[in-house]
Chain A
Amino acid sequence: MNSRRPTIVSLIILSLIVVCLPAGLLFGSVDLSASEIIDALCGNGSDMTRFVVVETRLPALITSLLAGAALAVAGLLMQTCFDNPLAGPSIMGISSGASLGVAVVMMLGASYVGIWGNFAIVAGAFAGALAVLLILMLFSAVVRSAEMLLIIGILVGYLTSSVISLLNYFAPERAVHSFVLWGMGNFNSVDLSVLPYFAMLCMLFIAMSFPYIRSLNALLFGVEYARSTGINVSVIRTGLILISGALTATVTAWCGPIGFIGLVIPHIARMALVSSNHRTVLPVTVLAGALVGLLCQILSVAPSMFMSGSIPVNAITPIIGVPVIVYVLLNRRKLLYFN
């Protein structure tokens, strides 16, 4: 491997983030010039401009960076942990589990208003995500085949979706409306007062994944080999599953069940680096996830310059994700990390 490749890839991604951020501030339903945006960021300009730039667009962009990075890391951890390149929070039912938890608390009347409302929704998402992860862990002890486990994850996802449908059917109209909107995915729902908590949780859980690099590399050679190098595989797997669950739950609680980012980004990172060494793949996954999250946010709000309202994030992620996954599946034999 070219030893400079990780640095070059990281610099390219960082440059793209730096280029895209101003674009993200420019796009939106309110037409603002570059100088108005700079004024607002410096604390000048009208109240309305400052509100739009500092309290709406900037938090949404930061949220998209963090959420993209968090979901991408969750996907990477799950793919290595379950030895399955198609594992990811949305595929294996984790996002659905978190959605079910959020649906339950929303139907019970919780909303994003006030700290307790936020806390209830986050707790619901955590409980739902962890419940699904526990089910997958139990099955992973019995089912050896990675494909079977993937199918079980998909089935659990269907099951939670069916319970959500039932809850929707019996819920009052207002609760259904807010839940449906939330389910479409949205990086605008983290306001400035909540952003520090969201950022802290995302960064904490991402940071917690880094000490697992050594074990993740050993797991590339199978569970039995990893164990023979002295790794307590049960403890490591539990840690990885809890972290990926926590990352998914944090993002899902505020932004809704965002699909594809967790599945796709680890593949993009491995292909860009031509490596499966987690020492480089993990940091590049963080950066690439942040970039794709940011791009999704920009593409989501860009149409609002021509029509009313933005389009849901979940309408964009498959457009980016599906071609990548199709490419990966069609080129399995050529991609080094599959061999």
Chain B
Amino acid sequence: MKAVECKNLSVGYGDKVVLSNINFELESGVLAVLIGANGSGKSTLLRTLAGLQLPLSGTVSLGGMDISKTSQRALAKTRAIVDTARHGGGALTVVEAVAVGRNKSLSLFGRMSKSDKEAVAAAIAAVGISDFADRYLANLSDGERQKVMIARAIAQDTPVIFLDEPTAFLDVAARIETMKMLGRLSSQGKTIILSTHDIAPAIARADRLIVVDRDRHSVAVGTRESMIESGALDAAFRRDNVHFDASILDYR
């Protein structure tokens, strides 16, 4: 069974088709990076894959389940999301914030069982923030806070995790650290799909690239080598008069 499978997928808003005829599969334990120019439909595609909005046509299956026919409750057991929006929760400690990821197993009154506590501690340890487990979210740096959000997704204990620009607002060290951590998670069997503008470190670690072509409203999926060879990476930013340089794995 594939972790993620798209068949004849079209995504967009209302009557407006942003990307169409998308077909690809991702195996379990793959780190897939979604790349595309601003306004290319990258976020729309990620949101549709994650089940945050419905496909215009075609299907998305996560772990064999068609997301259009799956309840939010069932979806929550299949995928977790990490978004860039900075919401409230500043007066929650790291442990409390990560525990929210265990929502489906907590008691109605929000009480954690022993296994919840273990899962939360393991998730916090997995992203390397055990030292500040009792600190408030409001007192963390952007990078630390992003790690908490990733730990929260890990605590949700789903086979697939979607991340929308997880390295935005982070400094260079935090970006590289985050990508390394996501690489570790995928090697442990999680399927990770993230969108990013931080091309070089993402491409260096990605098992699969999902490249959105803004002009052709299409999506190419493959390994780094195949995407370089096919010119898909070059085409992604064609209008901006930039080219992909395979020697530095980045645009120039």
List A residues at the B interface (Cβ < 8 Å): 1, 83, 210-211, 213-215, 217-218, 220-222, 224-225, 227-232, 270, 274-279, 335-339
Contact = CB atoms under 8 A, between A and B. Distances in A.
Given A221-B87, A222-B87, A231 B92 contact: no
Given A225-B83, A228-B76, A228-B80, A276 B88 contact: yes
A135 B252 CA distance: 53
A276 B90 contact: yes
Given A214-B108, A218-B103, A276 B92 contact: yes
A276 B91 CA distance: 5
Given A1-B136, A230-B77, A276-B89, A224 B83 contact: yes
B100 A221 contact: yes
A335 B138 CA distance: 9
Interface string B71-88: 011111101110101011
A210 B108 CA distance: 8
**Highest count of chain B CB atoms <10 Å: which of A1, A231, A338:** A1
A230 B103 contact: yes
Nearest to A333: B138
Nearest to A214: B110
A220 B83 contact: no
A36 to B, nearest CB: 43
A106 B73 CA distance: 46
A79 to B, nearest CB: 10
A230 B72 contact: yes
Contact of B90 (A210, A228, A232, A338): A338
Nearest to B106: A214
Contacts of A336: 90-91, 136-139
Nearest to A228: B81
Contact of A337 (B91, B106, B108): B91
Nearest to B101: A229
Nearest to B86: A339
A78 to B, nearest CB: 15
A335 B75 CA distance: 35
A235 B83 CA distance: 23
A220 B89 contact: yes
Contact of A230 (B73, B91, B137): B73
Contact of B109 (A210, A275, A338): A210
B108 A213 contact: yes
Contacts of B52: 224, 227-228
B89 A213 contact: no
B83 A229 contact: no
Given A83-B88, A221-B88, A221-B89, A277 B96 contact: yes
Nearest to B136: A336
Contacts of B51: 228
A218 B103 CA distance: 8
B186 interface: no
B53 to A, nearest CB: 10
Contacts of A277: 91-92, 96, 110
Contact of A275 (B91, B101, B103): B91
A275 B137 CA distance: 11
21 contacts: A1-B136, A210-B109, A211-B108, A214-B103, A215-B103, A217-B103, A218-B100, A224-B83, A225-B87, A229-B104, A230-B72, A231-B103, A270-B91, A276-B88, A276-B91, A277-B96, A279-B110, A336-B91, A336-B136, A336-B138, A339-B138
B215 interface: no
B156 interface: yes
A229 B138 contact: no
Nearest to B73: A230
A1 B74 CA distance: 33
B50 interface: yes
Ordered nearest first, which 7 A-B pairs have the shortest CB separation?
A230-B76, A339-B90, A337-B91, A339-B138, A336-B91, A276-B91, A230-B73
Contact of B72 (A215, A232, A279, A338): A232
A274 B156 contact: no
B111 interface: yes
**Highest count of chain A CB atoms <10 Å: which of B51, B93, B103, B134:** B103
B103 A274 contact: no
Contacts of A214: 103, 106-110
